[in-house]
Chains A and B, each alone.
Chain A
Amino acid sequence: MSEAQVKTLGERRAFPPLLAVDGIKVHYGAIQALKGVSLTVGKGEVVALIGANGAGKTSTLRAVSGMLKPSAGRITLDGKDTTNLKAHQLVPRGMAHAPEGRGVFPNLTVQENLELGAYLRKDTAAVQEDMEKGFTLFPVLKERRRQLAGTLSGGEQQMLAIARALLSRPQLLLLDEPSLGLAPQVTETIFRTLREVNATGVSVLLVEQNAHLALNSAHYGYVLETGEVVMAGPGRALLDSPEVRRAYLGE
């Protein structure tokens, strides 16, 4: 029903399929947050989800990572149905989710946060290597590895959340509002890292309020409005569309 109303712009570049979300619905009590959202993410693709506050962006990510159970619809990862799996069961299948807000454990040190990112991994030597890679991406984390994560600045916490998510060696990285409340320079660092990570083959599903930033970094984008996908298209095409410019870019 909602499928028909999606306005699709341009041609999508072809990626091998990885994640398929098919008509999921999510309720919080009597409130319906998602009214049947469908989207796909390919292997190696960066997909952005934009929309206003309360449009259902975070709920979509939470349903994908198993934090929320959708009341209807189907989610497949790498061809396998994961709709009913819990969050901790999705991690070994290559899912990593850096949630918004309290994403890091402030009562643990930076080092311990990173170790938790590799909680399920037994290859200690490779974990050590990956941790060093994370420190190369974000050198400030190395300086602060013995500090409690709660003492980091907002930007540093966001870096930690991303570095930690990468330590599980995900195939799909879910990022919720990585630019929220950060200085432009820090945001730039984070998005540069995002492109580097994506270049290594990791797929990214990105939720952002900053539509300009998100669509510039994404291969493909979806526009969410009150729990439904209303528009989809390559990042560039969405950026150029008058509706998106008017509603989300303030023009």
Chain B
Amino acid sequence: MAQLLQHLINGLAAGTIYALVALGYTMVYGVLKLINFAHGDVMMVGVYMGYATAFVLGREARSSLLGVALIFAVAMLGCALLGFLIERFAYRPLREKPRLTALITAIGISFALSYGFQLDIGFLPGASPRAFPEVIEPTEWLIIGDRDVVVWNWQVISFLIAVALMVGLQYLVFRTRFGRAMRAVSWDHRVAALMGIPTDRVIALTFMLGSALAAGAGLLYAIKDTSVSPLMGLYVGLKAFVAAVIGGIGHVPGAVVGALVLGLVEEFVVGYAASTWRDAVAFGFLILVLLVKPGGLFGRVAAEKV
């Protein structure tokens, strides 16, 4: 029983990280109908920005509250800028082109970032993984029984942040003027422009927001896993993408639920079967969900009305 509870907690914690990355995926898809395959790699760049900031701050400063805030701020602002540049120079010129062109470009950017960061010249970090410095000291937040079940502080913090961001995003999209503009652009950006909506700006801001979210998620992941590598974005990004599709891509709460479900599925496979089966079951689960509900758990397959 205690074991089950512990797996439940670990699964939710893993799912939380997927959820934070999946939120950015799903938001960009919601507005642009573009699967931004570079999203995970933007996250990776954010983690390195946080890593560099932590390094510059030094042992003392980085574990203070102000230090942690600064690490997150630098990574999130830096990624917002990166997201802006990617949208401006890679995606915007292709907006009127077939969707496949933008998709292939996204994959290209993904590889450019993940393999570019393996170079060992200048500020680039090189291929070998590095240990992310300890910024939040892990403490046991809750212990049940004789260490049968342990809940760590970072698990609780990540979970609360993910839920808060989901609620915040849902509010932004459905209750604000900017959110209305986002949804209008999502349907048809040419018609949205006829309302006086500056569509380029709305799309750029959406990208910046999604990229900043990715950086925040990546830092929480790195703090948990204490490891940073140029390829981490490919892996986490793919899992987050799967989570977003399971939930119904474009659907904000769906991304979070999909991610939590995926995290739980993986954890139970690792706990009760074999860890080597984890990814196979994760993708098998995706196929199963899509067979039963092609639009994902919350998505609707809209019939095109003509």
Known interface pairs A107-B183, A150-B305. Does A119 touch B190 (Cβ–Cβ under 8 Å)? no
- Measured CB to CB, the nearest residue on chain B to A161 is B191
Using an 8 Å CB-CB cutoff, how does the interface string of A73-106 with B read, 1 for contact, 0 for none? Answer: 0000000000000111001100011010011011
Chain B residues with CB under 8 Å of chain A are 177, 180-181, 183-184, 186-188, 190-199, 305
For residue A108, CB closer than 8 A to chain B, the reply is yes
- Measured CB to CB, the nearest residue on chain A to B187 is A105
CB-contacts of A150-178 with B (<8 A): 150, 164, 168
For residue A115, CB closer than 8 A to chain B, the reply is yes
For residue A65, CB closer than 8 A to chain B, the reply is yes
Let me know if B194 and A105 touch, CB within 8 A.
no
Known interface pairs A112-B180, A119-B177. Does A67 touch B194 (Cβ–Cβ under 8 Å)? yes
B contact residues around A67 at 8 Å (CB): 190, 193-194
Known: A65-B194, A119-B177; 17 extra A-B contacts, CB below 8 A, are A66-B193, A87-B194, A88-B193, A91-B194, A96-B194, A97-B194, A99-B194, A102-B188, A106-B187, A106-B305, A108-B187, A112-B180, A115-B177, A116-B195, A119-B180, A119-B181, A164-B195
The listed residue with most B CB atoms (<10 A of its CB), out of A88, A92, A108, A120, is A88
A contact residues around B192 at 8 Å (CB): 105, 116
The listed residue with most B CB atoms (<10 A of its CB), out of A67, A107, A119, is A119
Q: Chain A interface residue count: which class? A: 20 to 34
Listed by A's residue number, 13 A-B pairs whose Cβ atoms lie within 8 Å are A65-B194, A105-B191, A107-B186, A107-B187, A108-B180, A108-B187, A112-B180, A112-B183, A116-B180, A119-B181, A119-B197, A120-B196, A168-B196
The listed residue with most A CB atoms (<10 A of its CB), out of B184, B194, B195, B199, is B194
B265 to chain A, nearest CB (A): 31
- Give Cα distance in the complex from A106 to B181, angstroms: 14
CB-contacts of A98-145 with B (<8 A): 99, 102-103, 105-108, 112, 115-117, 119-120
B contact residues around A115 at 8 Å (CB): 177, 180
Let me know if A91 and B196 touch, CB within 8 A.
yes
- Give Cα distance in the complex from A168 to B187, angstroms: 20
A contact residues around B305 at 8 Å (CB): 106, 150
